[in-house]
Amino acid sequence: MAVYVDDLPFVGPDLSGIDRVLDELDRLYGVKRLGNAMYIFGVQLIRQADGIALSQRQYLLDVLARFGMADANKSVLPMQPGLQLKPCDTPDPSLQTQYRSAIGSLMYAVVATRPDLAYPVSYLAKFTNKAGSDHWAAVVKILRYIKETLDLGNVYKAKRDALVGYVGYSDSDWGSCINTSRSTMGHVFKLADGPISWSSRIQSRVATSSTEAKYIGLTHASRECQLLRNLLAELGITICGPIELKGDNQGAIALTKNPVFHDRTKHLRLTEHFVRERVREGDIVVNYLPTAEMLADMFTKALTRPALEKHRAAIGMGIM
């Protein structure tokens, strides 16, 4: 049972258990039963024969209308690969308000159902106080992509074993930000063939090598992995054994298993060794995955159309 103000969505293995709880709540307080949930917080729940899907089609239609893009041309990409922007030295105050509003609206879609928008929205969010016409053009491209992909959502397949397919992917570029030389890292975790957690963010400091950048990315992903383990435990799903986390840098993976100090990595902060502790405790196992198959790549940079469509499908996104 979830509680949001006076709304109480229920999830359970059978209706009889839910009915018993509702009967007791009705006896104590009086409740209004609305039947199967169709929308929760702007997210549409679509029941399928072999699972469930989540979509924000109506929410995104409202976003397009709000910014005058309801009749705009479509785009097959949310961002041009290789795009690099710098802060605007003389930002227009009126544009800043519109820009921040658009980024905020897009962020809700990112955290709810649209992992494919995580990188471009995260990248453009860095310029909310110094956006110019080029930055707004990049936002418009995202909106045009949304119009092309309105029916895209996350699909989850019913499984006898709740933990089948539970795996994480972590990646990072190296020093791609032309303004700070910091690296962008990202991760995605899958369960029931669909994405349950994803992130794209800039690292808090400059990494001195690609191995270091990837290692920091693995630590960030391992924190999320631990959070998900705790959340599943609260839901009554106990994970026995380590959770698999995949990376594409052999040097970074070796660092998660080897506590010996190395000249090139002895400057790492203590907090950046969290992943090593989780590996030692048996909570996580980090395995190698070739870069061409790394699903978290879409959270570190703007991809070409073939790569985007490949990774989008692989993480569990599909047409409703």
Q: What is the CATH classification number for the domain harbouring 214? A: 3.30.420.10
Residue 2: inside a domain: no
Please say whether the dihedral angle defined by the alpha carbons of residues 291, 198, 59 and 34, taken in this order, is positive or negative.
Answer: positive
Q: C-alpha 183: how far from its chain's center?
A: 17
**Regarding predicted confidence, which is higher, 184 or 9?**
184
Averaged confidence pLDDT in the chain: 92
Which of the 8 DSSP states describes residue 207? -
Domain range holding 264? 160-319
Judge whether residue 38 has pLDDT over 60.
yes
- Same structural domain for residues 281 and 313? yes
Which of the listed residues 132, 152, 172 is the one where a domain comes to its end? 152
pLDDT at 238 (0 to 100) = 83
Residue 179 lies in a domain: yes
Report percent pLDDT > 70 for the chain.
95
Q: How many CB atoms lie within 10 A of CB 170?
A: 35
Instruction: Using DSSP, state whether 186 is helix, strand or coil.
Output: strand
Whether 65 is covered by a domain: the verdict is yes
Amino acid of residue 245: L
9 inside domain: no
Same domain, 134 and 264: no
Among 290, 295, 300, which Cα is nearest to 317's?
295
Same domain, 104 and 236: no
144 within a domain of the structure (yes/no): yes
CA distances from 91 to 11, 35, 85 (A): 48, 50, 14
Residue 195 sits at φ, ψ, to 5 deg, of -80, 130
Single pTM value for the model: 0.92
Same domain, 176 and 67: no
What was the pLDDT predicted at 261?
52
Give the model's pLDDT for residue 265.
Answer: 60
Q: Where are the alpha helices (DSSP H) in 83-191?
A: 93-112, 118-125, 133-148
8 lies in some domain:
no
Region 50-69 average pLDDT: 97
Same domain, 29 and 77: no
**Are 101 and 44 members of one domain?**
no
Over the stretch 64-120, which tens digit does the pLDDT of each residue have? 999 999 999 999 999 999 999 999 999 989 899 999 999 999 999 999 999 999 999
Residue at 217 is within a domain: yes
In angstroms, the CA 73 to CA 12 distance is: 43
Residues 182 and 262 both lie in one domain:
yes
Residues 315 and 233 in one domain: yes
Same domain, 172 and 287: yes
Answer whether residue 297 shows pLDDT above 60: yes
Q: Is residue 114 part of a domain?
A: yes
Q: Does one domain contain both 75 and 136?
A: yes
